[in-house]
Amino acid sequence: MVTVSENAGFCFGVRRATDLVENLICEKGEKDIIRTFGELIHNEVYNSSLAGRGVISVGKEEIPSLYEKAESGFNVTLILRTHGVERELYTYLYSLSEKCPRFKVVDCACSYVKKIIKIAAENSGDGKVFILIGQKDHPEVRSIISHASGENYVFGSGAELENYLKTDFSDKKQVVMAAQTTQNLKEWKKSQEILKKYCTNAKIFDTICSVTEKRQTEAEELCARVDAMLVIGGKDSSNTAKLYHICHSLCPNTFWIQTKDDIPFDKIGNSYNIGITAGASTPDSLIQEVKESMSNIVENFAELLAEAEAERVKIYKGATVKGTVMSISETEIRLDLGAKSTGVITRDNMNIDNAQKLTDVFAIGDEVEAKVEATSDVDGIITLSKKAIDDVKNWEKIVAYANDQTVVEAKIVKAVKGGVVAVVDGAEVFVPASMTGLAKDEDLSKLAGTVQKMKIVEIKDGRKKAIGSIKVVLREERKAALEAFWASIEEGMVFEGPVKSLTSYGAFVDIGGVDGLVHITELSWRRIKHPNEVVKVGDVIKVFVKSFDKEAKKVSLGYKTDEMNPWNIFKSTYAEEDVCEVKIVGVTTFGAFAEIVPGVDGLIHISQIADKKIDSVANVLKVGDKVEAKIVGIDDENHKVSLSMRALLPTEEEAAEEVADAE
């Protein structure tokens, strides 16, 4: 199979320039002269094609003679290359154009290059330091840096930048940094990190061409899926060079070619899964020629492959095979692959728990699908990986979960910097700290070992990475619970929940995701100054709904009940004529108030304290005294109780009898 990267070849800037030149060639008259200042694009094949049709590349030294031809009656069109030209030359050429209308200058500089030129001009000088990350001798870089005034530098890498910042940089300077349009994306990000480390007030412009970014990213993704990679482009093309180095770092079987004649068929070998990408200066026709050449080779190879050993199972590195389990040990299983060789899958190549025995997972005769890791003609052993197949299937499940927004159960295996790692159907999912549902500074390690519900909220398919969120499920569950709560709430419903907070006017209680208010007057039958006299935060109490407002989302709760009513407790405990021990809680001129049960006081009138007249209650009783008294009256309507100590004293006759008995 041959796959061509979607963004391979001409970018819009190069295509615009080549289209303009092609149109000029079509409309060219006898007295028309078309020249390009420097090579229009970095592609020898295309530039040679232009030269063959009369469009020649010229340098600065040839400008005067072209100007003379314009003055003599020729129509001269000078096309400025896509990489731009230096400021002085730009000014010089346009001054000639103004002097002689037949000397026409067409600026084909890429819009991205023009943007960086403007940034360099507007963000340099006046004590600023302008830094460009790029290839110092590249025409684009020379063009850009010529428009920067004052202190300016070109660095080819993050390492060069850091060396400057360590040795010659003063952090009092205002630094402005941009990048060559075709700069390697990873090197550019590295440079940004280095600058931010040394300079907190730096101004950074992201100036890498978006098409370049896409081309590099697509190339990385394609490299992971192919056996060999072809990068098409001119040998002096900066963006092609960067593209080649990116591909070669990921796929060693990568080759840099300019035309189909450069394809190294001998080095590609038996690879028949081929990827193709191309630099920004590579014409579509060259890409198509390479693709057709490779397609023919791949098709022929596939036919030969199918013909060879057609009756046998084809086993090669990377192939997916199926086999039947013939033996099971503690460390591996062996498969009959229907071929001379035996397939072996070790524990390391399986997605199973370390505590599991292989005999608990597999049985003799089971059919197992696996991927070929290595082959050996010497001992006839084929090393297989079930994990590789399972990982693909598990990833497909993860993608499906993300697309369908399925709620899944995940085991949190560990806490890492910035979040936790969970496992869903054998695939790892990262949950950022902000999506765990925990408070900002809460310990993430408390989630390790737990099973949590979550949704897959983001998929990075190229890198096989998934982002999960526990918080979104908690939010949805809370929303559903609230909707169910407000749909079913009725006055009188009883709930049991924790006290969440206290205020001067009451206590808030969680009754299932909704905090209801127990007003201070509903906490106790007696008068209290603060709710903390009855409950504290964290107490789990039973409450009932007194009223609610669905629109305002407010619930008023009751806590005190008839069973808690002190008067009812008193009535169920005592009756008239009962004797009880009471505690003096207040002393007045007319008597003393005594607590019978918490919340119910009775009055001992001054006349009921002793069997003789007393001048002052305070001379006999004081607050805190505990005495025995008889209940002589109960006013049920007004909740009042009359007590008597005197009623418990002996009468004169009883006293006389006691004296006589004593004698």
What are the pLDDT digits (tens) for 579-604?
999 999 999 999 999 999 888 899 99
* Chain segment 300-312, per-residue pLDDT in tens: 655 544 444 433 4
Kindly list the distances between the CA atom of residue 583 and the CA atoms of 325, 347, 534, 569, 647, in Å, as whole numbers in the listed order: 87, 79, 21, 17, 17
Determine contact, residues 34/25, Cβ cutoff 8 Å. yes
Phi, psi angle pair for 154, to nearest 5°: -120, 125
DSSP one-letter code for 440: T
Question: Which H or E run includes 212?
Answer: helix 210-223
Residue 482 included in any domain: no
Tell me how far CA of residue 205 lies from CA of 89, 116, 180, in angstroms: 26, 9, 11
Q: Which of 96, 111, 126 is the last residue of a domain?
A: 111
Of 220-229, 244-253, 648-657, the one with minimum mean pLDDT is: 648-657
- Shared-domain flag, residues 107 and 119: no
Check whether residue 14 and residue 61 sit in a common domain.
Answer: yes
Q: Is the pLDDT of residue 627 over 60?
A: yes
- Closest alpha carbon to 631 in 592, 582, 565: 582
Residue 361: its pLDDT value, please? Answer: 87
CB count in 10 Å sphere of residue 408: 19
Question: Would you call 309 a catalytic residue per the annotation?
Answer: no
- The count of domains in the chain is 6
494-511 pLDDT, tens digit each: 999 999 999 999 999 998
Q: Which residue has the tokens 């206290």?
A: 502
Residues 619 and 640 in one domain: yes
| Domain annotation covers residue 613 | yes
- 587, β-bridge pairs: 592
Euclidean distance between CA atoms 559 and 397, whole angstroms:
50
Q: Residues 31, 79: one domain?
A: yes
How far is 36 from 215, CA to CA, in rounded Å? 27
Predicted confidence (pLDDT) at residue 483 exceeds the cutoff of 80: yes
Q: What is the pLDDT of residue 310?
A: 39
Residue 419's domain comprises 405-475
- Residue 90: is it exposed, middle or buried by C-beta count within 10 angstroms (0-12/13-18/19+)? buried
Is the Cβ–Cβ distance between 141 and 130 less than 8 Å? no
Task: Give residue 311's pLDDT.
Answer: 36
Query: Quick one: pLDDT at residue 242?
Result: 85
Rounded to an integer, the average pLDDT of 471-480 is: 89
Contact between 286 and 41 under an 8 Å Cβ cutoff? The reply is no
* 534 closest CA partner among 547, 546, 518: 518
- pLDDT score recorded for residue 527: 82
Q: What whole-number distance in Å separates Cα of residue 343 and Cα of residue 336?
A: 6
Q: How confident is the model at residue 662 (pLDDT cuts 50, 70, 90)?
A: low
What is the structure's pLDDT at 663?
53
d(CA 386, CA 559): 62
359 in Cβ contact with 328 (< 8 Å): yes
- Local structure of 257: helix, strand or coil: strand
**Global confidence as pTM:** 0.41
Q: How confident is the model at residue 617 (pLDDT cuts 50, 70, 90)?
A: very high
Query: Does residue 509 form part of some domain?
Result: yes
Please say whether the dihedral angle defined by the alpha carbons of residues 90, 96, 97 and 102, taken in this order, is positive or negative. Answer: negative
First to last CA, the chain: 130
Separation CA 113–CA 121 (nearest Å): 12
Q: State the pLDDT at residue 309.
A: 44
Residue 414 within any structural domain of the chain? yes
Whether residues 102 and 11 fall in one domain: yes
User: Sorting pLDDT into bands at 50, 70 and 90, what band is 299?
Assistant: low
pLDDT at 202 over 80: yes
Cα–Cα separations (whole angstroms), residue 532 to 17, 503, 563: 81, 9, 21
Task: Provide the pLDDT for residue 396.
Answer: 86
Q: Which residue(s) pair with 490 in the sheet?
A: none
Same domain, 518 and 551: yes
User: Which residue spans within 511-576 are E strands per DSSP?
Assistant: 515-519, 540-549, 554-558
* pLDDT tens-digit readout, 114-157: 999 999 999 999 888 999 999 988 889 999 999 999 999 999 99
Give yes or no: residues 105 and 15 share one domain: yes
User: Is pLDDT above 80 for 188?
Assistant: yes
Which of 208, 230, 263 is where one domain is finished? 208
The reported pLDDT for the residue numbered 652 is: 61
Starting at the edge strand found earlier in the chain, the sheet holding 32-37 runs 56-58, 32-37, 75-80, 103-107
pLDDT of 658 above 80: no
Answer yes or no: is pLDDT of 656 > 60.
no
Both 421 and 446 in one domain: the answer is: yes
Q: Tell me if 598 is assigned to some domain.
A: yes
Of 475, 503, 535, the position where a domain reaches its end is 475
Round to whole Å and give the CA distance between 494 and 635.
Answer: 33
Among 6, 61, 140, 221, the active-site one is 140
Residue 308 pLDDT: 44
Q: Is the pLDDT of residue 63 over 80?
A: yes
Between residues 601 and 651, which one has the greater pLDDT? 601
Q: What is the dihedral of CA 324, 327, 329, 331, to 10 degrees?
A: -40
| Mean pLDDT value of segment 420-443 | 89
- State the DSSP code for 28: -
CB 482 within 8 A of CB 428: no
Are both 137 and 200 inside the same structural domain? yes
- Any domain includes 34: yes
- The reply to whether 433 and 365 lie within a common domain is no
> What are 338-392's pLDDT values in tens digits?
766 788 999 988 888 777 888 888 999 999 988 898 887 666 788 999 888 888 8
Over the chain, what is the mean pLDDT?
A: 86
- What is the widest separation between alpha-carbon atoms in the chain? 163
CATH number for position 601:
2.40.50.140
H or E element at residue 626: strand 626-635
Same structural domain, 350 and 434: no
**pLDDT at 580 (0 to 100):** 94
Task: Report pLDDT for 313.
Answer: 52
Specify the CATH number for the domain of residue 79: 3.40.50.11270
In a domain, 400, yes or no: no
Q: For residues 368 and 552, what is the distance between their CA atoms, to the nearest angstrom?
A: 60
Do 470 and 552 fall into the same domain?
Answer: no
Taking residues 312-337, report their average pLDDT. Answer: 84
Q: Among candidates 382, 293, 279, 372, which has minimal Cα distance to 340? A: 382
Decide if 502 is inside a domain.
yes
Rounded to 5 degrees, φ, ψ at 497 are -160, 170
Residue 248 and residue 251: Cα distance in Å, rounded?
A: 5
Kindly state the average pLDDT of the residues 209-235.
Answer: 86
Helix/strand/coil for 525: coil
DSSP for 300-337? HHHHHHHHTTTTS----TT-EEEEEEEEE-SSEEEEE-
- The mean pLDDT of 622-640, rounded to a whole number, is 92
| Residue 303 buriedness (CB in 10 A; 0-12 / 13-18 / 19+) | exposed
